[in-house]
Structure 1
Amino acid sequence: MGTRNAVGKRHVHAQGCCRVSVPALARSGVTVSILALLLAGCVRPTGDFDRARPSVIHDSVMPAIGEGAARMREDPVSKFNYTNDEKLLRDRGWTLIRPPWTKDWIGGTMAELARTRVIPETEGRIPPDLYYHYLRSDRFRSSDARFDKIASDATGDADLVMPFCEVALRVREADDERLRVLKNKPLTTEEMYEGAKARVWENRVMIKWVGQALRYRITAYKNALDALEIETPSRDRQWKVNTAIRELQGQVLLAESECQTENRYGTEEPVRRSRIYKGWGNERPPPQK
């Protein structure tokens, strides 16, 4: 929603966020960096089940600013419409990129600035120590509940990796097909050529960013567990948390490999010998009749 000023210009604003007059900012020639500072306190609003809610600021204003910032950095920018899977990739990726603690407005702001490309995606790193800060400050009835919270968050993250990877693999296949068609098309405009390459780059950066964000989450969970073991020891809960973190680590390896399941641990697999044929290279020739 918005309000009108004395001259009838609409001010776009969101609950809990800064108020911005988009036409006025554009006319005054405000730079991208200043706009980023004005929007820095804006965390993406959420609704039921912490899902992102529609927002003019976050769905229109910040992406427009981010597009300009990306061009200034000379990062590829595609004007292509998103496919259904590309939209789903970003929706599912957002749940793994945002801070694990929804009240973390510092990390939430950094993630949102990176999501909208106001800052580079790989710089949208959330400080891992903030998770323990918010975990410690929240009022739980039992000290064991904080251990349970870490285990629940780690397990929830692990459950979300495979659904994300299923979409990521479909997007990669579509990108490969896009590049194949682009290469074989004799009549392709420069705009179409650059747009296709930029979209492939954007998709791959998104997939890589999720792996990076999950690695930071593991660090946050481990730091919180180490601190709680000193502040409020609970041997019964420590095993549960460690198990949940180990399960998440296995899924993070998959995400960090850009969801490629072949040889995900990076080890050389030995050649498997047949259990039927023996003495390879020394077999006798078949009998001649």
Structure 2
Amino acid sequence: MAAIPGRIAVLLALTLTGACAQMGDFGRPAPSAWNGLIDAAGEVAARERGEPASLFPYTDDERTLRDRAWRFLMPARERSLFEAALANLTRARVLPVAWRPSDPAAYFEAVTGEPFRSPVSRYRRLSDDLIADGRLIPAFAETAARVVRADAARLGSLPFIRTLDDADVRNAAMRVAENRCLVAWVRIETAARSASYRYALEHLMLEVPGDEAVAAERALGFLDARRRLLDPLVPPEAEARCGLVPVGEGVAAGAVLVRKG
């Protein structure tokens, strides 16, 4: 695992001893100066790692896209405040995506680690989380589609603007790459959530079988159907090009995500 740069290590220590990000309405982060500081530090850290990080201000849709992505980039249920803080640093790109390992059992362990009176409550918690995720995906997909269309217009305008310099072109390309990589990241995370939810459902059925599993299974199908809304937004190879998954067959290492013209 790569070492963390000094300035990022300091921020990590401050974050882990401070308050974790709080959820606002509709799965978005609660506005706070702390969250703003973490986001700003994440842009610096991503730039230092050579990841797409534009200096352009966000459009309204780009900001909304990031707000709506927040729910899916954070754990569905945290096992500890430490885990929540690390997840928030990863979500903000202070830490690279690879820093947080995939653990399909994490959600199940978090849910079963909570006090409960009856196994029914655990099934209901699972169903509630599944339905909540499924209901939020269309709003994210709709916003992402608008951002993708705006980015296409942005790139299409580059050959016709005579006053651009190299920095302008680079920042435009970086913003488009940022947006596409964010959508690809959410697509990965929703798939990982589905796998974690299925793991929880299967293990609940083994440990405490009950009729409530039927409703949870239907809710899982609802989420998986909604996840398909994300498929046409960015190319299938976007995850690999963005460094979110290992480079697969047909995707060259170091391939650029966007080109001028």
Q: Distance in 2 between matches of 1:96 and 1:117?
A: 14
- Structure 1 pair 82–215 and aligned structure 2 pair: CA distance change class (3 A): same
Q: What is aligned with 2:36? A: 59
Say which structure is richer in helix.
2
Q: How does 1:120-135 map to 2 (within 5 A)?
A: 120-121=96-97, 123-124=99-100, 127-135=103-111
1:206: how far off? 0.9
1:99: how far off? 1.5
Larger-Rg structure: 1
Q: Distance in 1 between matches of 2:101 and 2:230?
A: 16
1:232: how far off? 1.3
Q: Which amino acid aligns with 2:230?
A: A
SS in 1 for 2:141: helix
RMSD: 2.4
Selected match of 1:169 from 130, 138, 145 = 145
Selected match of 1:83 from 43, 59, 67 = 59
1:43: how far off? 2.4
Q: Distance in 1 between matches of 2:28 and 2:179?
A: 21
Deviations 1:92-123 (A, max 9, x none): 11122221126653543233112221123465
Q: What is aligned with 2:89? A: 113
1:184: how far off? 1.8
Deviations 1:166-206 (A, max 9, x none): 00000000000011111221220222111111110111111
Deviations 1:36-77 (A, max 9, x none): 3442455212356775223333212x2333223212211122
**Contact kept in structure 1, 2:54 and 2:174, CA below 8 Å:** yes
**Contact kept in structure 2, 1:32 and 1:68, CA below 8 Å:** no
**Contact kept in structure 1, 2:74 and 2:91, CA below 8 Å:** no
**Contact kept in structure 1, 2:27 and 2:136, CA below 8 Å:** no
- When structure 1 is superposed on structure 2, of 106-115 and 69-78 the one drifting more is 106-115
Q: Distance in 2 between matches of 1:46 and 1:76?
A: 26
**Contact kept in structure 1, 2:28 and 2:67, CA below 8 Å:** no
Q: What is aligned with 2:212? A: 237
1:250 aligns with 2:222: no
- Structure 1 pair 173–84 and aligned structure 2 pair: CA distance change class (3 A): same
1:89: how far off? 0.6
**Contact kept in structure 2, 1:218 and 1:249, CA below 8 Å:** yes
Provide structure 1 residue ranges, at least 5 long, that are not aligned to the other structure. Answer: 1-28, 261-289
1:218 aligns with 2:194: yes
SS in 2 for 1:150: helix
Q: How does 1:29-68 map to 2 (within 5 A)?
A: 30-40=6-16, 43-46=20-23, 51-60=28-37, 62-68=38-44
1:200 aligns with 2:176: yes
Q: What is aligned with 2:131? A: 155
**Contact kept in structure 2, 1:168 and 1:259, CA below 8 Å:** no
TM-score by length of 2: 0.79
Residue identity (%)? 31
Q: Distance in 1 between matches of 2:189 and 2:203?
A: 21
1:87: how far off? 0.8
**Contact kept in structure 2, 1:43 and 1:105, CA below 8 Å:** yes
Provide structure 2 residue ranges, at least 5 long, that are not aligned to the other structure. Answer: 236-261
Q: Distance in 2 between matches of 1:46 and 1:225?
A: 25
Deviations 1:221-256 (A, max 9, x none): 11111221122111x111111111122112223324
1:165: how far off? 0.5
- Structure 1 pair 107–254 and aligned structure 2 pair: CA distance change class (3 A): farther
Deviations 1:146-168 (A, max 9, x none): 11111111111111111110000
